[in-house]
Structure 1
């Protein structure tokens, strides 16, 4: 009976080792780490949104304007970053240029002021600014009438469609790259194979950008603005994420897929300014968001949709840098691997010739 128990235990342990290899166990631990990071990142970014240093213009005559700017600047927690602007026209222009997020227009002849907001840039931010300004004005026995000068489209609830569009493009980018890699080995064997993968990714990016623009534009009417602009943004976003994923895979093999998910999904999505624009996010997410593809893509998508493509140079350069860096690193690492493999093979042949001699 003891021999039977021992044999059973040996067989069971053997089955466990066969079913869950050391490599698989390490990968599962890595997935557990991604799960914890995902929960931490999203909860940390979204659990307590509050406005911090929201750029707002103040249009008021003479000393009253300076006093109001000073009062808004001294609010507890620094929710606003006020600056005096000489006219409502200039304030509206700065909102459209995405230099500021709101403007308070003071009526010197009455007690009702106007707050200009742009919900197209994020409804949650407009509402947060309205709450802060309304409370501040109430203390001065004044009232505020909110005017949405750049409203979100009727088919774009809370201006979230642009964000979800970019998230879809990002998911497509790293999934396409992952499939291209694992279909024939995570690390490209040579420079030619790396170029072929990048070429396939390019075709996929163009198709994904076109498909996304068609769905949110003509099909659903969810995101207004230039169809060609959205198509181009989609192609660039997908390629930037895909090329980055290919580069990480070339560097670290299949673990690179996990790193791409960490970078794009775990860190990039909650910091993208989608559900909560940058001034509502905690410092860490507010700082990294503009430098990652989801954040850069979301900003450009909203600019195309509601702000005539203004303030897009910086984010487009960010996406281009990810695309160029990923492409260069993928090709260089593939060529270096080819060189190392050739040298190893030559050393192996030299050893065989020596043994034969």
Structure 2
């Protein structure tokens, strides 16, 4: 006979339940702040640490020609910068060309039989920055040796992808499709992660995502032409391989597996990919990762098919296939071991029945459909917007000042240049060199072209490298040709050169990305892990405090730890704190309305539209009109331009960007307040008790 439960036993159970609830609440709070902290630190530290100042290290270069001359030239190239190059002598021109085509070397020098001339072979499709680096390494020693130089690009980039970025954005989309759905499925539909069910689901998912990525990059945007079957096959294998490995990570780490996936696939995978920057300019550790991670394997396989006639694709496919097999075998082994230890273990529970924030769980079919459409929409938007914004940079109305000693001469020269380059540049005329230089330094114009005069027989091109490397390279190429056509020498001057620790001008972009990420990640994670903290009265001070702390953390990484930034603490700290708080407040509105699905509009506005519009990667004068218009209103461009102004332009123009942050923050506050007011009134209406009307009762005398 069971003993009756006493009041004391009930009180103990209640206390234990309360203690468990407190621990669970504390755990959710810790996770809500720790997750965005780790993500931000990981992304900013990883990208800045690897890519803030790329420099060649053991870049392989082949030399061929008469034995004695080849040895002499190889020695001269090596002596010019021994740490930068790894010079090897090959048998003949065909072998040198084949090595470049197979990407076994970054470039080659083929000496003529008399040793008086040479051809420098590069492959722009293997990386435009790598080709220019090869040229900068080999041309000066050849000139010093008195060798006449010709250049040949063995794999030029096609006109439909002049920057070679299509493969990079396709790779990013495919990798995202592989790892993103796992953490969602674990919370929303854990039954799909059973191995026997997951493998066919993943196979179908990989086919859908690969087809969507190819459709957007190819037929829709025109970033690639042809190779449909090969691109689809590579995409399918990439998504399947990443998904299988991510499943194995999920078995060990649960929802935190997304952090390990981000670390390997994005933080380490992107610098190791050889897509954005040459792998030979990254720290040596990334050279090892280049041969084993799926991100570089996917990118190099696509590049092989698109630009090199599939030369070298096999090795990269092997990396992906091995990854898929390791994930499959590893997951099967883990499942078997756990089943042996706990044969009666309960299946994982659904912890997030609705991804849309609904209080009621949808039917399984609806739940699965939403689970699939969520990451598929993210992949499609990322590939479409990032590719459309950056893959085909075209100069449009780039402002350039033309300077001459006489106003009429300056106007005539500007008019002539405008006729020959209609639409590309917007020319203005002036007679003051000082005013023109001030306009360049103030970023009112991209460059100033100073015509030769009696006092100065050379033309001069004045630029500001810190305002954007892509636009500086554009005007340098253009006006070098202009000077040659005019038959005058050209000298260049840089009124705002990039620092040695920011040789590509990307530090401002990574600072801005860190600020924006810290803001929206806080709102997204807090809104789902600790929803009681997302109410405006609580969240507003949290967002401000978070901005103050995380802005200091981002500066600490960029400055003392990585060495990409020197000084400017107070300015960058204040700007970053405002940017983070404003983005967090704005993002909280979508989180309140949509739940975890809010990640779609938040990241679309702040990153997928914001990064191309920022001018951090491609000049704002070289992107489509939509993104150029967004440059003036989105937080990401404001963050990049603010950081750039502080680092290189004495803070000129920061005020307008601070206003942008304030507007976004105020919009967030007003939106959150409106949501709370509406819901408060709705809830009061639902809880309003029905009015009871007292009706008088007639009294009757009892019947006698």
Scaled to the shorter chain, the TM-score interval is 0.7 to 0.9
Question: Equivalent of 1:271, from 604, 613, 616?
Answer: 613
Correspondence 1:90-105 to 2 at 5 A: 90-105=435-450
Q: CA deviation at 1:256?
A: 2.3
Question: Equivalent of 1:233, from 537, 562, 575?
Answer: 575
| 1:61-89 Cα shifts (integer Å, max 9, x gaps) | 22321111112222335222111123221
Q: Which residue of 1 aligns with 2:623?
A: 281
Q: 315-324 or 22-31, which moves further after superposition?
A: 22-31
Q: Which residue of 1 aligns with 2:488?
A: 142
Q: Does 1:87 align with 2:428?
A: no
* Alpha-carbon separation, structure 1, partners of 2:543 and 2:368: 28
Q: 319-328 or 218-227, which moves further after superposition?
A: 218-227
| 1:292-318 Cα shifts (integer Å, max 9, x gaps) | 110111111101111111122222211
Cα distance change of structure 1 residues 107 and 248 upon mapping to structure 2, 3 Å threshold: same
Instruction: Indicate the RMSD between aligned Cα atoms, in angstroms.
Output: 2.3
| 1:130-169 Cα shifts (integer Å, max 9, x gaps) | 1111222222222322211100111012110110111111
Q: CA deviation at 1:121?
A: 1.0
Q: CA deviation at 1:60?
A: 0.6
Q: Which residue of 1 aligns with 2:675?
A: 333
Q: Does 1:39 align with 2:383?
A: yes
Q: CA deviation at 1:332?
A: 2.3
| 1:88-117 Cα shifts (integer Å, max 9, x gaps) | 211121222221121112221355211011
* Alpha-carbon separation, structure 2, partners of 1:103 and 1:70: 15
- Is the CA contact 1:51–1:79 (under 8 Å) kept in the aligned structure 2? yes
- Is the CA contact 1:237–1:319 (under 8 Å) kept in the aligned structure 2? yes
Cα distance change of structure 1 residues 233 and 150 upon mapping to structure 2, 3 Å threshold: same
* Alpha-carbon separation, structure 2, partners of 1:171 and 1:21: 33
Secondary structure of the 1:40 match is helix
Cα distance change of structure 1 residues 223 and 79 upon mapping to structure 2, 3 Å threshold: farther
* Alpha-carbon separation, structure 1, partners of 2:489 and 2:388: 34
Q: Which residue of 1 aligns with 2:601?
A: 259
| 1:269-312 Cα shifts (integer Å, max 9, x gaps) | 12111111201112121111221110111111101111111122
- Of structures 1 and 2, the larger Rg is shown by 2
Question: Equivalent of 2:550, from 208, 211, 230?
Answer: 208
Q: TM-score, normalised by structure 2?
A: 0.45
- Is the CA contact 1:187–1:250 (under 8 Å) kept in the aligned structure 2? no
Cα distance change of structure 1 residues 225 and 259 upon mapping to structure 2, 3 Å threshold: same
Cα distance change of structure 1 residues 19 and 145 upon mapping to structure 2, 3 Å threshold: farther
Q: Which residue of 2 aligns with 1:350?
A: 690
Q: Which residue of 1 aligns with 2:392?
A: 48
Q: Which residue of 1 aligns with 2:649?
A: 307
* Alpha-carbon separation, structure 1, partners of 2:479 and 2:566: 29
Cα distance change of structure 1 residues 27 and 47 upon mapping to structure 2, 3 Å threshold: same
Cα distance change of structure 1 residues 243 and 210 upon mapping to structure 2, 3 Å threshold: same
Q: Which residue of 1 aligns with 2:410?
A: 65
* Alpha-carbon separation, structure 2, partners of 1:269 and 1:90: 32
Q: CA deviation at 1:259?
A: 1.1
Q: Which residue of 1 aligns with 2:541?
A: 199
Secondary structure of the 2:612 match is coil
* Alpha-carbon separation, structure 1, partners of 2:404 and 2:669: 51
- Is the CA contact 1:55–1:80 (under 8 Å) kept in the aligned structure 2? yes
Q: CA deviation at 1:204?
A: 0.9
Secondary structure of the 1:107 match is coil
* Alpha-carbon separation, structure 1, partners of 2:462 and 2:430: 13
Q: CA deviation at 1:329?
A: 1.1
Secondary structure of the 1:57 match is strand
Q: Which residue of 2 aligns with 1:117?
A: 463
Q: 267-276 or 85-94, which moves further after superposition?
A: 85-94
Q: CA deviation at 1:18?
A: 9.8
Q: CA deviation at 1:224?
A: 4.5
Q: Which residue of 2 aligns with 1:157?
A: 503
Cα distance change of structure 1 residues 186 and 72 upon mapping to structure 2, 3 Å threshold: farther
Looking at both structures, which has the greater relative contact order when contacts are Cα pairs under 8 Å and sequence separation is at least 6?
A: 1
Q: Which residue of 1 aligns with 2:370?
A: 26
* Alpha-carbon separation, structure 1, partners of 2:515 and 2:530: 24
Q: CA deviation at 1:51?
A: 1.9
Secondary structure of the 1:99 match is coil
Q: CA deviation at 1:179?
A: 1.4
- Is the CA contact 1:50–1:128 (under 8 Å) kept in the aligned structure 2? no
Secondary structure of the 1:350 match is coil
Q: CA deviation at 1:24?
A: 4.5
Q: Does 1:129 align with 2:467?
A: no
- Is the CA contact 1:45–1:270 (under 8 Å) kept in the aligned structure 2? yes
Q: 217-226 or 252-261, which moves further after superposition?
A: 217-226
Cα distance change of structure 1 residues 18 and 195 upon mapping to structure 2, 3 Å threshold: closer
